[in-house]
Structure 1
Amino acid sequence: MKQRYTTHSTFQIERIYRAAPERVFAAWSNRSAKERWFQPAEVFDFQVGGRELCQGGPAGGPVFTFDAYYQEIVPNERLVYTYSLDQGDTRMSVSIATIELIPTIDGTKVVFTEQGAFFDGLDTPEQREHGTNEMLDLLGQSLGESNAENFELVSRRKLDAPRNLVYRAWTEPELLAQWWGPNGFTNTFHAFDLKPGGVWEFTMHGPGGADYPNRNVFQEIGPECIVLRHDSTPRFTLTSTFEDVGGKTEITFRQTFETEEDYKKLKPMCEEANEQNLDRLGLLLKKL
């Protein structure tokens, strides 16, 4: 008969993110924002007493079930949840996780504390802490990066599509129009001359009915990098690089403003808008 035993452990991880507490909190509380860095949920009820249920695992491997209940939520400051983790029909652990968000000069300090009971050696505190570090890495990537010295915002995303397909989605106007812009926006293209020095003019239609004329000039075009200059106000340069990673594509999206005033004014809006833009690109690629 297999010997049963329980290992009790507590670990704590601290991270600094260059994002406001409101944005970090939204990465946990908003379903689409959380799916950028965590397993998509079958159930997502973000309220005290609400449940979050996720299932997943490697292709052809075991299925893991994350089943959590929210115990405490203080917007932009703290959240606490209890959760179990199962492999198939076997319970591996039960834990309480506390996430604290502390404002800093440059963004937010996140303190993640987990107190767990780990059963029969199926998982260990060391493995869980390692996995949590990787999870917090992905959270950081989903928040993007900001560089006040260069007036630059950076978003990164690994897309489950080959680079040639991602390049098509950027360079074929009928595809580009389907995903360009944040959630709820549509586009009407007026000119699209895909060459260095070529002009891309379009009108972006907001969900409230407002229209936003845009004029861009392509600076560089290639399967590994696209650079364009936004000549409408506010002025900025967009640089998108595409790296082949085992049949998938790692995309880096840089938005560099010309002035500090525009950077500070638009940073709160553009950080999330750029992430939504990449969300929409990912959804389109799944259809191609």
Structure 2
Amino acid sequence: MEHQSNQPSAVTFSRTFDAPRELVFQMWTAPEHFASWWGPQGFSLQVAKMEVQPGGTFLGSQSSPDGNHVMWGKFVYQEVAAPAKLVFVQSFSDEHGHTIRAPFSANWPLEIRNEITLEEKEGKTTMTLQGGPINASAEEQAAYDGMAPMLQQGLDGTFDQLAAYLDSQK
């Protein structure tokens, strides 16, 4: 399916968790919680820095299950409105936080803007993530569009981990 649009595409993903909004927000903002669920299934996350405030930075490394592959990434927080909203720009980086190209694609966008909103109803929280490239070239946008189905699948696995971790916190 070809993407025919003048508007850059974005991935939108929603999931409802059986947990209060404040707790789900903490999962995104407390290093000890975030490290327990974020990333591809089977990978481990080491948090080097996590300053959840506008202009603050998250820096962390993910290790593959066999330990042979390590990828660094960063978030630069744009908006933090506890416990309802979190906006950040996500990039691959080196261990010093310098933005680099993704290890899997020379055309992957350097920056992805993610907006997380949390709405609570009757003790359950619906999280909506909307993300898409910013400042992307046509080639970068095309790479993102082509990977969108795999990205959705990866997010599904990541948020399965969040659901299991939230259950373990009860």
CA displacement at 1:148 relative to structure 2: 8.7
**Deviation above 3 Å: which 4+ runs of structure 1?**
none
Q: Does 1:252 align with 2:112?
A: no
Mapping for residues 2-81 of structure 1, pairs under 5 Å: none
* TM-score, normalised with respect to structure 1: 0.47
Mapping for residues 217-228 of structure 1, pairs under 5 Å: 217-222=76-81, 223-228=83-88
CA displacement at 1:161 relative to structure 2: 0.5
Q: Which amino acid aligns with 2:115?
A: T
CA displacement at 1:267 relative to structure 2: 1.6
Name the CA shift for 1:247/1:148 in 2 (closer, same or farther; >3 Å): farther
SS at match of 2:15: strand
CA displacement at 1:191 relative to structure 2: 1.0
Aligned partner of 2:53 in structure 1 is 195
Q: Which has the larger radius of gyration?
A: 1
Aligned partner of 1:264 in structure 2 is 145
SS at match of 1:178: coil
Q: Which structure's residues are more often strand, by fraction? A: 1
Unaligned runs of 5+ in 2: 93-100, 102-109
- Give me the whole-angstrom Cα distance separating, in 1, the residues matched to 2:156 and 2:7: 21
Mapping for residues 109-120 of structure 1, pairs under 5 Å: none
- Give me the whole-angstrom Cα distance separating, in 1, the residues matched to 2:40 and 2:111: 18
Q: Does 1:158 align with 2:34?
A: no
Number of residues of Structure 1 aligned to a counterpart in Structure 2: 145
Moved more, 169-178 or 255-264: 255-264
Sequence identity, in percent?
27
- Give me the whole-angstrom Cα distance separating, in 1, the residues matched to 2:145 and 2:24: 30
**Residue deviations 1:70-104 (CA, integer Å, cap 9, x gap):** xxxxxxxxxxxxxxxxxxxxxxxxxxxxxxxxxxx
Q: Which amino acid aligns with 1:163?
A: R
Which of 164, 167, 170 aligns to 1:286? It is 167
- Give me the whole-angstrom Cα distance separating, in 1, the residues matched to 2:38 and 2:133: 19
Aligned partner of 1:275 in structure 2 is 156
Q: Does 1:171 align with 2:52?
A: no
Mapping for residues 131-150 of structure 1, pairs under 5 Å: 149-150=7-8
- Give me the whole-angstrom Cα distance separating, in 2, the residues matched to 1:247 and 1:153: 26
Q: Which amino acid aligns with 1:182?
A: P
- Give me the whole-angstrom Cα distance separating, in 1, the residues matched to 2:8 and 2:122: 32
Q: Larger RCO: Structure 1 or Structure 2 (Cα < 8 Å, ≥ 6 residues apart)?
A: 2
**Residue deviations 1:149-207 (CA, integer Å, cap 9, x gap):** 43211111111001111111111100000000121111111111111000111111122
Name the CA shift for 1:268/1:207 in 2 (closer, same or farther; >3 Å): farther
Q: Which amino acid aligns with 1:190?
A: A
- Give me the whole-angstrom Cα distance separating, in 1, the residues matched to 2:149 and 2:15: 19
Q: Which amino acid aligns with 1:171?
A: T
Mapping for residues 209-220 of structure 1, pairs under 5 Å: 209-220=68-79
SS at match of 1:179: coil
CA displacement at 1:266 relative to structure 2: 2.6
Q: Which amino acid aligns with 1:225?
A: K
Q: Which amino acid aligns with 1:152?
A: A
CA displacement at 1:263 relative to structure 2: 1.2
Name the CA shift for 1:151/1:207 in 2 (closer, same or farther; >3 Å): farther
Aligned partner of 1:185 in structure 2 is 43
SS at match of 2:11: strand
CA displacement at 1:268 relative to structure 2: 3.2
- Give me the whole-angstrom Cα distance separating, in 2, the residues matched to 1:148 and 1:266: 18
